[in-house]
Amino acid sequence: MKILVTGGLGFIGSHLVGRLLQEGHTVICLDNGYTGREENVQAHRDNPAFRLLWHDVAEPLPPELEKAGIEQIYHLACPASPPHYQADPIRTIRTGVWGTYHLLELAQKTGSRFLLASTSEVYGDPQVHPQPEDYWGHVNPIGPRACYDESKRLAETLTFDWQRQHQTEIRVARIFNTYGPAMREDDGRVVSNFIVQALRGDPLTVYGDGSQTRSFCYISDLIEGLVRLMNSPYPGPFNLGNPQEFTILELAQQVLALTGSPSPIVHRPLPTDDPKQRRPDIRKARTLLGWDPQIPLQVGLELTIPYFRRRLGLE
Ligand code: UDP
């Protein structure tokens, strides 16, 4: 198949591009390089089945894409780490909303199947735990996280309306915290921050008292879920995440133990509207997609730490 991946230079996007090429598909990777990095797809540069197109999804798409024979679109393009999406919130909204609009238009024109990379952030600071897909969420519409949360919520709305109005084939994945190789060392999210801090011997910065929870999914499990969802008959939404839940303090201790780092733990102020708890209810994905994450946190961290060691030039 010919497949378009937006955000294909990013952490998740580049793993997806690799997987699709491995399966024998032709892949167009569309990215503006805002948070993605070309080195993430370096291995495919000379592969004739791979093409990189520099473009910002918030702008109208190059018309040539309408004649490129695209059959599936994975729409991942959007900065996703709080420091990155909050650095220019208006731009984040343009990317989240107009980006999705443009890609849905392309899906309609080409008759492609469209998969939206949505997020657990649609649940906000959830009052239902764990979060099932039929929970409508608890989002502060005017807080610093809203530019991301609300634009992803509107992106979901647009996607379902496009299906209702134009019969476009849609798939919606709600992606929970994911980690692994190819993350930026300055990504700003907790797993990369803690590993980089531990390897450098810097203090691990726990925001608040560290009792807030997250559930961390290793990248290969997430990619498997995205591909299964795209090729399933179900529009979703589907939660894709690992339901094993940890406090942030437990994560810090685990990273210290696995790196053997002497770094201390320091506490920093809790960011505004930081969700107190998060854990996916994945019964729907288990039942309908036959998907279940295989990599527990410790194994995933053991696979990720050597990558950061290399990136930081420590070996
Ligand atoms: N966090 C932390 N120290 C850091 C980065 C993040 O304690 O250096 C906390 C953050 O406050 C949140 C959790 O870790 O409670 C997950 O944050 P992240 O930015 O990775 O993702 P998100 O909040 O979007 O789930």
Digit-coded pLDDT (tens) for 52-79: 999 999 999 999 999 999 999 999 999 9
pLDDT at 172: 98
pLDDT, tens digit (0-9, with 9 covering 90-100), for 221-261: 999 999 999 999 999 999 999 999 999 999 999 999 999 99
| Residue identifier of the C-alpha nearest atom 10 of ligand 1 | 207
Cα-to-centroid distance, 150 and ligand 1 (Å): 19
Query: Which atom of ligand 1 lies nearest, measured to the CA of 191?
Result: 20
pLDDT at 315: 80
| Residue identifier of the C-alpha nearest atom 13 of ligand 1 | 190
3-state secondary structure the chain: CEEEEECCCCHHHHHHHHHHHHCCCEEEEEECCCCCCHHHHHHHCCCCCEEEEECCCCCCCCHHHHHCCCCEEEECCCCCCHHHHHHCHHHHHHHHHHHHHHHHHHHHHHCCEEEEEEEHHHHECCCCCCECCCCCCECCCCCCCHHHHHHHHHHHHHHHHHHHHHCCCEEEEEECCEECCCCCCCCCCHHHHHHHHHHHCCCEEEECCCCCEEECEEHHHHHHHHHHHHCCCCCCCEEECCCCEEEHHHHHHHHHHHHCCCCCEEEECCCCCCCCCCCECCHHHHHHHCCCCCCCHHHHHHHHHHHHHHHCCCC
pLDDT at 106: 98
pLDDT at 282: 98
| Residue identifier of the C-alpha nearest atom 16 of ligand 1 | 190
Of the candidates 74, 148, 179, 218, the residue annotated as catalytic is 148
pLDDT at 155: 98
Cα-to-centroid distance, 217 and ligand 1 (Å): 14
Ranges in the chain, pLDDT < 70: none
Cα-to-centroid distance, 301 and ligand 1 (Å): 16
Strands 2-6 and 72-75 turn out to be: parallel
| Residue identifier of the C-alpha nearest atom 21 of ligand 1 | 189
What whole-number distance in Å separates Cα of residue 112 and Cα of residue 5? Answer: 12
148 is catalytic: yes
Cα-to-centroid distance, 256 and ligand 1 (Å): 17
